[in-house]
Amino acid sequence: ARSSMWGGRFSGGPAAIMEQINASIDFDRRLYRQDIAGSKAHCRMLIETGIIDRADGEAILNGLDQVLQEIVEGRFVFKTALEDIHMNVESRLREIIGPAAGRLHTARSRNDQVATDFRLWTRDAIDDLDRAAAALQQALIAQAEAHADAVMPGFTHLQSAQPVTFGHHMLAYVEMLGRDRGRLRDARARLNECPLGSAALAGTGFPIDRAMTAAALGFDRPTANSLDAVSDRDFAIELLAAASLCVMHLSRLAEEMVIWTSAQFGFVRLSDGFSTGSSIMPQKRNPDAAELIRAKTGRVYGNLTGLLTVMKGLPLAYSKDMQEDKEPVFETVDTLMLCLAAMTGMVSEMTVNRDRLAAAAGAGFSTATDIADWLVRALGMPFRDAHHVTGAIVRLAEDRGVGLEDLSLADLQSVEPRITAGLRLDPTGSAASRASQGGTAPDRVRAACSDARARFLTP
Ligand code: ARG
């Protein structure tokens, strides 16, 4: 049967396949709460402005409450023939309260309705993501505090570079997540304008009060241009972009977890709760959650590219193409929430093997820069010359198959006679010496932990 919402000019019903491609109810039912809140705000405004009479308006408001209750309690029957959440709700409202239901859609279109619903949903999702990202920061900071002084190898090119502290490494991710949260906050501030009252595309001739509906729904103000308000989805794309950056950061941490938990590294051990076994190899403790976070990044990037592509080249104003905006956003939010929660669990329950970290910290001639720095400081050598001399010392150690700390003073003096016993080489001292602002020294890291708590975890 033709929709009673717009069937007036039709005599034949839709083809079954038409109904199938057109319907969005299977996914946009997730907007029910926002849809009903938007309708109630619109209805109250219609009453206050005298556009509909109070008795009809009260009947609509009560009916909408009943619809909400039916959906929440799982008693609501969603119908594909009614296309989307908006028409499913309105049709049920008519069953409950009768013809007065038809007055709700005065001075409104599904175009401003869906734009409003979706902004409301996205706003809530941003708040959820912000809380989840803060929880991960909290877990990372706790590990950073526990291991502010645990010396480990720092890498560039995944080659031993200079000793760093485990706490410093954790706090690097805290900063990334802080920027991710900032991007979400920025997107939230920009999206918080209310499209309601833009109607189909041109605004409406009814004497509506847009400031009233905007305020009732917690928006900062009504949108300024009706064509823009019903036809842009940049707010959704901003969320997908911010989510893409965040999951990229999670994927890098996940990759480090995979590396660190390998037998060859052994820096970190995941809890039983976040390890999986093998059906053939009994020794296995696989980091599946980390691998899946790394992999789910693909969906999140795909959804960003997908929605950008849906929107490109659409003439103003609304086109049905835009109904394809919801699934990528829902999937991305679900995916990122899951990844943030899984990473939070992994990080808070992991055990850090400080002995393995310490043993690895000196490997790969990681204190070579300290020799060069010492030559500059103690002998006044230009850094480039010091670099050259140190290179010769590294070559000597490498030829002998020993570490830098195994060379005797006489060995060092065979390369540079002015070297004295004042040159001490050990990874712990090396890390402790890097006390510049933002550096890896344990004292710096402890201060950075409380600074991070203040910046990111106090409301
Ligand atoms: N389900 C539609 C969507 O999500 C609602 C808007 C429909 N508007 C229209 N003119 N057909 O985009």
pLDDT tens-digit profile of 435-444? 999 999 999 9
Q: How much distance in Å is there from the Cα of 56 to the middle of ligand 1?
A: 26
* Tens of pLDDT, residues 71-105: 999 999 999 999 999 999 999 999 999 999 999 99
Atom of ligand 1 minimally distant from the CA of 84: 1
- d(C-alpha 145, C-alpha 137), whole Å: 12
- Residue nearest atom 4 in ligand 1 by C-alpha distance: 323
The predicted model scores a pTM of 0.94
Q: How much distance in Å is there from the Cα of 185 to the middle of ligand 1?
A: 28
- Residue 4 has a pLDDT of 66
- Residue 334 has a pLDDT of 98
Q: Which of 4, 271, 278, 450 is catalytic?
A: 278
Catalytic annotation on 157?
yes
Of 18, 314, 321, 323, the one to substitute when testing ligand 1's pocket (max ligand atoms within 8 A of C-beta) is 323
Q: How much distance in Å is there from the Cα of 134 to the middle of ligand 1?
A: 35
Decide: 110 in ligand 1 pocket, CB within 6 A: yes
Residue 86 and residue 52 in contact, taking contact as beta carbons nearer than 8 Å? no
Q: Averaged over 112-128, what is the pLDDT?
A: 98
Q: Sort 273 into a burial class: Cβ within 10 Å, 0-12 / 13-18 / 19+.
A: exposed
Q: Averaged over 1-6, what is the pLDDT?
A: 66
The encoded tokens of residue 167 equal 């706490």
Question: Mean pLDDT lowest for which of 80-89, 176-185, 278-287, 397-406?
Answer: 278-287
Atom of ligand 1 minimally distant from the CA of 85: 1
pLDDT band at 117 (very low <50, low <70, confident <90, very high): very high
Q: Check whether 12 has a pLDDT greater than 90.
A: no
Decide: 236 in ligand 1 pocket, CB within 6 A: no
Decide: 323 in ligand 1 pocket, CB within 6 A: yes
- Residue 27 has a pLDDT of 98
Q: How much distance in Å is there from the Cα of 431 to the middle of ligand 1?
A: 59
The encoded tokens of residue 456 equal 């990111």
* Tens of pLDDT, residues 377-389: 999 999 999 999 9
Q: Check whether 16 has a pLDDT greater than 70.
A: yes
Decide: 108 in ligand 1 pocket, CB within 6 A: no
Contacts of 191 (CB under 8 A, 6+ apart): 119, 122, 123, 235, 238
* Tens of pLDDT, residues 305-361: 999 999 999 999 999 999 999 999 999 999 999 999 999 999 999 999 999 999 999
pLDDT band at 2 (very low <50, low <70, confident <90, very high): low
Give the up-direction half-sphere exposure of residue 339: CA atoms within 13 A in the CB hemisphere: 29
Closest CA to 435 of 446, 424, 425: 446
Q: Check whether 235 has a pLDDT greater than 70.
A: yes
- Quote the mean pLDDT of the chain: 96
pLDDT band at 278 (very low <50, low <70, confident <90, very high): confident
